[in-house]
Chains A and B, each alone.
Chain A
């Protein structure tokens, strides 16, 4: 009997470190972003517009006692920041659907890449873009009298990163099985607005009715907002559900859960066509 010409032992190929594919997918996301000038302009202009129009409008027509800050504009600042991050994070993951329709995803799926590397790269790409956009919004903080020290800034960056990462991962998990961006829009709109409204961004949890309060307590975004309130207004912040560190812990746990869900969805192989 002749020896087999090709045996598995003959070709010990090096394993691929999952960080390299993750890096390359992340970088591609960034490059594709800055090559589309319309998106770059949108990122800078939209927070400004948002702040001026909505914030000023609400600020003069509403005075909430229970916010504990007298000025609604102040109360609304972290909520607006969260909203910017929320929308940008989830919608950056439309690129998953584009990648699938344009065929790029196929070539990633047949590469010897640990599936966690694929999720990490795509999600970090979206996270970077939305976190930058959220942090740009901080430029307006001094305008309403919020002065941020270095320690505060680092905490804000951490919180914004966690919120952005978890929401991008959520967008990724939803987008993975979607075939059209229209379908994605439809699903996202179902819970994007409630998610934001029930985070305490518009009204504080302390004044809410019982069942709304309950919904707000199970909304992970609430803890992102709480954490931001605590950092930005250490003296005058409205009542929050948890203290700073527990809030960040809840946020971190949520991030881990959504990331793992994304990984499981991508890692699943079946007798149906993948990608």
Chain B
């Protein structure tokens, strides 16, 4: 125990100084199917870190390892310097976890759910009562404290879930696809809470998502594909690597047109889902050139600033949703 502790302190100092979570070369497989392959990244205190990836990319596996529910096949995950595999209790004391699936007891009231949760973390007596009131107020449910959770809307249940995860004031909050099944309003509210938490209490937040617009709101993010990190950085950094605009073009015979465009303009033109996709600087000028060069062949044409999906396509060579659908077919 003492040696392990010593080791982790040393590792901490030698690595990037201010990281609260260190994922080191984590690999995992279920039987023969590899779910994670050599994943490494750091999370800094007080940042919202996103794990973006299609279903089956390894997000949930990583989440299970971080939340101490599962041992990693190889590598290690450190939270506040503690190894999630060998010091699970130290890690558990410091993390709040919000699962994708519901974990609240709908037969109990909101306050009762928090009461039980507090006990699991050693809170009791007046301190516990105080904390319950504080958490309910924070998520705007003070007036519904004594009502059974089964009468709540989906958004309200999620808020109880969040309050539950925050009862013991964790320094790290882990959220697995927390906005699943929420309407846009409830989704926006949840994000406001998360940002408030980061700004006011410097809680470090790891959030998994398969939604681009959510990933955009993270301070930094890692994009996962087939168990590997394909991109890591702030959303702006990732988008800027595209270096220009993204042009999408529909045509009768996309393959032949793509190769002719490549010959003529010395640019890369990729066919994805029957559309030709190109990345160009000064896209608006290029679009005019294209239209003049191939009159009558272009059915539609769009030009846009790069999105995170464009980053994904650039790094993996295929579309985000295609991978997801393939994964679902395999199941």
Least CB distance from B78 to A in Å reads: 10
Asked if A270 is at the interface of the complex by the 8 Å CB criterion, the answer is yes
B13 touches A24 (CB 8 A): no
Q: Mark A89-121, 1 if CB is under 8 A from B, else 0.
A: 000000000000011101111111100000000
Closest chain-B Cβ to A158's Cβ sits at a distance in Å of 28
Which residues of B in the span 163-196 have a Cβ within 8 Å of any Cβ on A?
164, 171
Q: Which of B114-122, B228-236, B239-247, B286-294 contacts A (4 or more CB under 8 A)?
A: B114-122
Q: Say whether B89 faces chain A, with CB atoms less than 8 Å apart.
A: yes
Task: Give bound CA distance, A127 to B82, whole Å.
Answer: 37
Known contacts A3-B13, A107-B103, A107-B164; decide if A273 and B64 are in contact (CB<8 Å): yes
Interface pair A107/B107, CB less than 8 Å apart: no
Which A residues, 234 to 275, have Cβ-Cβ distances below 8 Å to chain B?
269-275
The verdict on A210 contacting chain B, using a C-beta distance below 8 Å, is no
Bound together, the chains give a CA A220 to CA B314 distance in angstroms of 66
CA distance A13 to B87 in the complex (A): 14
Interface residue? A32 (CB, 8 A): yes
Q: Which of A4-12, A63-71, A183-191, A198-206 lies at the interface?
A: A4-12
Number of interface residues, chain A, beta carbon within 8 A? 43
Partner of A20, one of B64, B101, B124: B124
A262 and B73 alpha carbons, distance in the complex (Å) = 25
Whether A24 pairs with B116 at a CB distance below 8 angstroms is yes
Binds A, one of B51-59, B90-98, B211-219, B269-277: B90-98
B41-82 CB mask vs A (1 if < 8 Å, else 0) is 000010000000000000000001001111111000000111
Q: How far is the CA of A23 from the CA of B164 in the complex (A)?
A: 18
Interface hits, B104-133 → A, CB 8 Å: 104-108, 112, 115-117, 119-122, 124
Contact A8 B82 (CB under 8 A): yes
Q: Which of B18, B67, B93 contacts A112 (CB 8 A)?
A: B93
Q: Which residue of A lies closest to B112 (CB)?
A: A31
> Is B313's CB within 8 Å of the partner chain A?
no
- Scoring B residues 6 to 20 as 1 if CB is less than 8 Å from chain A, else 0, what string do you get? 001100111001111
Contact B5 A8 (CB under 8 A): yes
Residue A53 at the chain B interface, CB threshold 8 Å = no
Whether B164 contacts A4 by the Cβ 8 Å rule is: no
Whether B88 sits at the interface, judged by CB under 8 Å, is yes
Contact A274 B17 (CB under 8 A): no
CA of A107 to CA of B19, assembled, Å: 26
CA distance A273 to B176 in the complex (A): 15
Within 8 A of B (CB), among A1-40: 1-9, 11, 13-17, 20-21, 23-25, 27-28, 31-32, 35
Residue contact B103 to A270, C-beta cutoff 8 Å? no
B28: Cβ under 8 A from any A Cβ:
yes
The answer to whether B101 touches A103 (Cβ under 8 A) is yes
Measured CB to CB, the closest approach of chain B to A29, in angstroms, equals 11
B9, B88, B95, B119: the one within 8 Å of A24 (CB): B119
A167-183 vs B: 1/0 string, CB under 8 Å? Answer: 00000000000000000
Known: A4-B13, A275-B69. A17 touches B95 (CB 8 A): no
Given A15-B122, A103-B101, the answer on whether A271 and B71 have CB atoms closer than 8 Å is yes
Looking across the interface, which residue of chain B has its beta carbon closest to that of A272? B70
User: Shortest Cβ distance from B91 into chain A, in angstroms?
Assistant: 8
Once the chains bind, are A4 and B103 in contact (CB under 8 Å)? no
A103 to B64, CA, bound (A): 14
Shortest Cβ distance from B233 into chain A, in angstroms? 21
Give the contacting residue for A13; candidates B20, B67, B93, B116; CB below 8 A.
Answer: B93
Q: Is the CB of A5 within 8 A of B18?
A: yes
Given A5-B45, A11-B171, verify A110-B95 contact (CB < 8 Å).
yes
Contact A109 B116, CB 8 Å, known A4-B17, A8-B81, A15-B122:
no
Chain B residue contacts of A4, Cβ below 8 A: 9, 12-13, 17-18, 81
Contact, CB under 8 Å: A110 / B68? yes
CB-CB under 8 A from A108, the residues of chain B are 120
B3 to chain A, nearest CB (A): 13
Most interface-central of A107, A108, A274 (chain B CB within 10 A): A107
Name the contact of B99 in the complex, choosing from A20, A27, A106 (C-beta under 8 A).
Answer: A106
13 A–B contacts, CB within 8 A, in A order:
A6-B12, A11-B80, A16-B120, A20-B122, A27-B116, A31-B108, A102-B102, A102-B106, A110-B95, A269-B71, A269-B88, A273-B69, A274-B70
The 7 closest A-B pairs by CB, nearest first: A24-B119, A16-B122, A2-B17, A111-B120, A112-B92, A4-B12, A103-B103
Q: A21-B119, A24-B119 are in contact. List 14 more A-B contacts (CB 8 A).
A: A4-B13, A5-B20, A6-B12, A6-B171, A8-B82, A11-B94, A13-B94, A31-B108, A32-B108, A103-B102, A107-B103, A109-B69, A111-B121, A113-B120
